[in-house]
Amino acid sequence: MKKILFVCTGNTCRSSMAEGIFNAMASQDEEIRGNFEAASAGVAALEGEPASSGSTRALKELYGIDLSGHRAKNISDAMIKNAYLILTMTASHKEMLLEAFPLSRDRVFTLKEYVLGPESGCSPDISDPYGMPAKVYEQCAAEIREIIGKLVLKLKENRDF
């Protein structure tokens, strides 16, 4: 099974939502199920922290996805080595990873860059909802869900399994 690693800062909002959304979509798609699995990590995570209440609430209310068991993890050499694809939430996360893990250059992209292409003209970043009102978490979750839906289609089109 190929591992897709989503990365943000603290692994309590964006990357945890991306992991939950991807795994939920994958479980419902017979081409992806059993071929891909998502994990997530942070570049500055407090190990063991739960997903933020805003992220947990947004995914549960909007999509029925339960993040209550999520615990934050810091990015590690093993995670990088075992990942088929590493998708960050911002260009700065991507740069941090490329500096720390230069041999992973061909597998590290921002989520938007990988899915939409660098020529899309849109910002490569997904804004951090941390500490913001519930509506901001919901908007972030919806943005991630839309892009992950396109990621699933891209994986299927590329026959990456």
Rounded Cα distance, 74 and 43, in Å: 6
Active site residue 160: no
Query: At 160, is the secondary structure helix, strand, or coil?
Result: coil
Three-class SS state of 123: coil
d(C-alpha 21, C-alpha 16), whole Å: 9
Q: Based on the residue annotation, tell me whether 14 is a catalytic residue of this protein.
A: yes
Q: How long a stretch of residues is the chain?
A: 161
- Which residues does residue 109 pair with via DSSP β-bridges, in sequence order? 87
Catalytic residue among 8, 13, 140, 145: 8
Give first-to-last CA distance, the chain, whole Å: 8
Q: Which of 33, 57, 107, 128 is catalytic?
A: 128
Task: From the candidates 13, 14, 125, 140, give the one annotated as an active-site residue.
Answer: 14
- To the query of whether residue 8 is one of the catalytic residues in this protein, the response is yes
Residues marked active site are found at 8, 14, 128
